[in-house]
Amino acid sequence: MQAVQTKLWLLGTGGTIAGQSAVEGDNVGYTAGTVPVEALLPKGANRLLESAGLEVVSRQLAQLDSKDMTYSVWFALAEAVCAACDDPAVRGVVITHGTDTIEETAFFLAEVCRPVKPVVLTCAMRPATAASPDGPQNLLDAMAVASDERAGGVVVVTAGAVHRASSVSKVHPYRIDAFSSGEQGPLAMVEEGRIRWLHQSGEAQPSASQGSTTSKELRGGDHHPSDALRLVSQLRTGGLPRVEWVVSRTGVGPREVEQWLVDSPSEPVRGLIVVGTGNGTFHQSLVEPLKRAEAAGVLVWRTTRCTQGPIVLGSSGVDWPRVTHLDPVKARIALALCIARADCSYSAV
Ligand code: SIN
């Protein structure tokens, strides 16, 4: 018999949603990450919780401006998500977060935990002390998504839209509606507490270890919940493998790559994401240094500076895998995790 799910976990990490300004109504001069997570519960939360038969269990896992996000907070979040997924009484998890790096945290949690239960990150563009803060509605919407029986996997809820972890990006520094899923569009809309699904929830969120992501198949091992905890424990001890960006641009030279090949025994660069032009192409001056990097054991993946659409496969004369569906921010995390899992085996398409 299935256990009754009675709990919604609310994990606070800070951000503007928990920000306060000394000047009432100031939307930009404020300190992020100051209001405790349990004080963020919006009006209307009790009604929603009662109708869903849920109670909130809140925990402050961090209290920071998300530009300062750390791997140790990621690890704590991943452990909490695993614990919630393991607890039959938990319906889902809501995480309050700053907007600046929410897409990174969401992608990391999706890749590491791959939860079946809903894990819903939310945020705000205006601090809690704004004349018209967006945080309370976003949090209410996030709770509605986490309570919805059709929800599953890691998503970001903001400005009435539900975005997949793999496609969401912050695209505007000020607007309330600051996030986009690009050509993929949102997964669902939240309208007065009701979720209008545009696509099936919990559908495969393209994973770095699944073939759809790259021009060569990047295969990970089979994933079980205990794998996630093992991986997090490994990362806590050994750290997330260091992966850097190489940005192709007019006038770029070999130094763009060579700077990362200097001896750094405590934290050697293990992977490079080439942020290429257009269809994942890059300046010819980078080819030889990238070959040297690869010969030295550094994994090289290519992505694109274009902000819309996937790389379209085709022959380009160089043979490094192209990450077709991930932007450079997410590709960096995906490659680091592939290296950590020691499973970046490629097979030609
Ligand atoms: C942050 O990312 O923590 C500050 C900015 C924001 O949440 O909008």
DSSP 76: H
What Rg value do the Cα atoms of the chain yield, rounded? 21
**pLDDT of 6-15, one tens digit each?**
999 999 999 9
127, two tokens: 């601090």
Answer for the pair 156, 106: CB distance below 8 angstroms, yes or no.
yes
pLDDT value, residue 317: 62
Per-residue pLDDT at 2 exceeds 80: no
pLDDT value, residue 202: 57
Residue 322: pLDDT band by 50, 70, 90 thresholds?
A: confident
Per-residue pLDDT at 221 exceeds 80: no
Instruction: In whole angstroms, give the CA distance from residue 51 to residue 332.
Output: 41
- Do 209-341 and 7-197 fall under one CATH topology? yes
Candidates 6, 13, 16, 307; catalytic one: 16
Q: Is residue 16 annotated as part of the catalytic site, yes or no?
A: yes
9, two tokens: 């976990």
Among 20, 26, 28, 100, the mutation site with the greatest number of ligand 1 atoms within 8 A of its Cβ is 100
Q: Please name the residue whose Cα sits nearest to atom 2 of ligand 1.
A: 98
Ligand 1 proximal residues by C-beta, below 6 Å: 14-16, 32, 65-67, 98-100, 123, 125
Question: Cα of 124 to ligand 1 centre, how many Å?
Answer: 7
Per-residue pLDDT at 219 exceeds 80: no
One-letter identity of residue 232: V
Per-residue pLDDT at 316 exceeds 80: no
The closest-lying atom of ligand 1 relative to the alpha carbon of residue 102 is 2
Residue 314: pLDDT band by 50, 70, 90 thresholds?
A: low
pLDDT value, residue 223: 57
pLDDT value, residue 91: 97
Q: Please name the residue whose Cα sits nearest to atom 1 of ligand 1.
A: 98
Distances (CA, A) of 195 to 150, 175, 188, 192, 314: 9, 23, 7, 8, 39
pLDDT value, residue 225: 67
**pLDDT of 229-281, one tens digit each?**
999 999 999 999 999 999 999 999 999 999 999 878 889 999 999 999 999 99
Phi and psi at 242, nearest 5°, equal: -80, 125
143, two tokens: 């709770």
Answer for the pair 112, 5: CB distance below 8 angstroms, yes or no.
no
Per-residue pLDDT at 200 exceeds 80: no
The closest-lying atom of ligand 1 relative to the alpha carbon of residue 100 is 2
Answer for the pair 59, 80: CB distance below 8 angstroms, yes or no.
yes
| Residue ranges per structural domain of the chain | 7-197, 209-341
Question: Cα of 101 to ligand 1 centre, how many Å?
Answer: 8
One-letter identity of residue 120: V
Place of tokens 């793999």: 166
Distances (CA, A) of 212 to 215, 216, 275, 325: 8, 9, 19, 8
What is the mean predicted confidence (pLDDT) over 211-230?
54
Q: Note the residue count of the chain.
A: 349
DSSP 39: G
Per-residue pLDDT at 346 exceeds 50: no
209-341 folds as Rossmann fold (3.40.50)
What is the mean predicted confidence (pLDDT) over 27-31?
95
Q: Which 3 state secondary structure label does DSSP give 197?
A: strand
pLDDT value, residue 348: 27
Looking at domain 7-197, its CATH class is: alpha beta
What is the mean predicted confidence (pLDDT) over 290-301?
96
The closest-lying atom of ligand 1 relative to the alpha carbon of residue 178 is 8
Q: Please name the residue whose Cα sits nearest to atom 7 of ligand 1.
A: 98
Check residues 256 and 310 and name the one with the higher pLDDT.
256
**pLDDT of 82-124, one tens digit each?**
999 999 999 999 999 999 999 999 999 999 999 999 999 999 9
Instruction: In whole angstroms, give the CA distance from residue 100 to residue 328.
Output: 15
Query: Which pTM value belongs to this model?
Result: 0.93
Question: Cα of 100 to ligand 1 centre, how many Å?
Answer: 5
